[in-house]
Amino acid sequence: MQAGANSPPIHSLPYELLRDILLFALTPKKCIWGSLLLPPRSCDVLILCRVCSAWRQIALETSRLWAIPRLPVMNRMGYMSTTATNLFLERSGQHLLHVDICPLWPTQSIQLPPTLGKASDRWESFSLQYYTTGLSVAEVNALRILSQSRWANLITIDIWVAHADNWPGTMLDFMPAKQLRQVSLNVPAELPIPAIPWAQLTRLSLIHPSAQVCLEILSSCRNVIHAYISTSQSSDVNRPTLATPVTLEHLVDLELCLHVHSPEEHVEPFLQLFSAPSLISLHLSVDGGSYSELSPISRLHSHLVSFIHHSPKLRQLVLANFTPPEVILSILRQTPMLVSLHIGATHVNRDFMLGLSISRKSQSIVPKLKKLVLMNLSATSDFPFAEFITMVEARQPGTILAEVVVENECLQSHWCPTPEFLDFKHRVYLKGLDLRFLL
């Protein structure tokens, strides 16, 4: 649109307003592939400086602008610029910084500028990402300057290291970080866990092959609110355990992903040794690999029922496993407050669908259910279509069921809906139900 003849130029705006516009231009942008927020690039700041002399002057005088991009500064080829990093560090004043250290090319060794390392008390977040390689000797030496840091403003750390090569156990010590609240660790068994004040964390993401290590760390996070644990049994010879059971009073969101290949008790300790009275969301995925006959959640039935029984506020439940329908119904009888149910990699039958139906003669299971998701189902003719229709229509009208998803992610075959099923979809659509059915 062409501006009017009397429209004032943008540089006539008040200084403070123009400064806020520049700051807004550097806010994180939503990634086109999802909800991930992408941080602005360092070159975005330099582009603003080149628009005009007025913008350049404002940018040079606004230290907050120079602290927004991630440091150290990388060029388009993925190599770090020490000169540009020092420039941004100097221009950012005393504002807090976000530091990401990762090799973008396999042959590149990133050297941490000494000036950036000495400013570690200004770091608000620290990310160390070595997905495929270990750290070189040169990189370890560059990071040694951090061993004396007090981490005065550190809130978030994210460490993903694929190999323990050259990693000294005492290189990183986060115990002085009094503001630390969020920790994400994805490390091999050989890499020593850095010293971390676990008790003050509110968010934990831990991927580690030892279930015993995961148990001990989670038990130390007495104030954790959100926890994600992914582990396996491969590195544990004995059954993992704790000296005493632990109550996580503040935990509201728990996701457990466990990989097992034998029927020993590797999963039960997470359900037996912990209780979470404030838990709202539980995601349990037990992968038996090719050993589908293990049916891990089926074996966990009594422990899982007991765990959920001590979490009366549970509203969201995800079970991804080879789970018999009768086990699911038994679990759901302990969840009267449940509003969202997501079941994956299982088979559902007539009794399961009828068990979810609303009945006036008996107490209904999950009467407050708003969302039902059945994923990765086998595309076979024995899906209980008639009972599925009965269940959905029994919950409408007069209930709050708003969304139903039935889908086979593998799409190994195609299913053609019958005219009766299409009529059913149209009826529930008119009643406001979001029904997505794809087998």
| Alpha-carbon span 293 to 270, nearest angstrom | 22
pLDDT of residue 29: 66
| Alpha-carbon span 349 to 332, nearest angstrom | 16
Question: Does residue 298 lie in a domain region?
Answer: no
Question: Does residue 165 lie in a domain region?
Answer: no
pLDDT of residue 79: 79
Cβ partners under 8 Å of residue 233, min gap 6: 211, 258, 259, 260, 261, 262, 264, 266
Question: Does residue 191 lie in a domain region?
Answer: no
Question: Does residue 307 lie in a domain region?
Answer: no
Reduced to 3 states (helix: H, G, I; strand: E, B; else coil), residue 73 is coil
- The answer to whether the beta carbons of residues 354 and 390 sit under 8 Å apart is yes
- For 327, half-sphere exposure in the C-beta direction (CA atoms, 13 angstrom radius) is 20
Question: Does residue 300 lie in a domain region?
Answer: no
Per-residue pLDDT tens listing for the chain (439 residues) = 455 555 556 667 788 888 888 888 887 766 555 556 667 788 888 888 888 888 888 889 999 989 988 899 887 777 788 889 999 999 999 999 999 998 876 666 677 888 899 999 999 999 999 888 788 888 888 888 898 899 999 999 999 999 888 887 778 999 999 999 999 999 999 999 999 999 999 999 999 998 899 999 999 999 999 999 999 875 445 677 888 999 999 999 999 998 877 656 667 888 889 999 999 999 998 876 655 555 556 667 788 888 999 999 999 999 887 567 778 888 898 999 999 999 987 778 888 898 888 776 667 789 899 999 998 775 555 788 889 999 998 887 666 889 999 987 655 556 677 888 899 999 988 888 999 987 6
Question: Does residue 336 lie in a domain region?
Answer: no
- The answer to whether the beta carbons of residues 176 and 150 sit under 8 Å apart is yes
Residue 423 domain boundaries: 347-439
Q: Among 69, 90, 119, give the residue marking a domain's end.
A: 69
35 burial type by CB count under 10 A (0-12 exposed, 13-18 middle, 19+ buried): exposed
- The answer to whether the beta carbons of residues 162 and 188 sit under 8 Å apart is yes
Q: Among 69, 84, 112, give the residue marking a domain's end.
A: 69
pLDDT of residue 263: 59
For residues 85, 55, 31, 184, the Cα torsion angle rounded to the nearest 10 degrees is 40
Residue 168: asked if its preceding bond is cis (omega within 30°), the reply is: no
pTM recorded for the entire structure? 0.87
* 189 token code pair: 């068994």
User: In the chain, how many domains are there?
Assistant: 2
Question: Does residue 107 lie in a domain region?
Answer: no
Question: Does residue 432 lie in a domain region?
Answer: yes
Q: Among 52, 69, 86, give the residue marking a domain's end.
A: 69
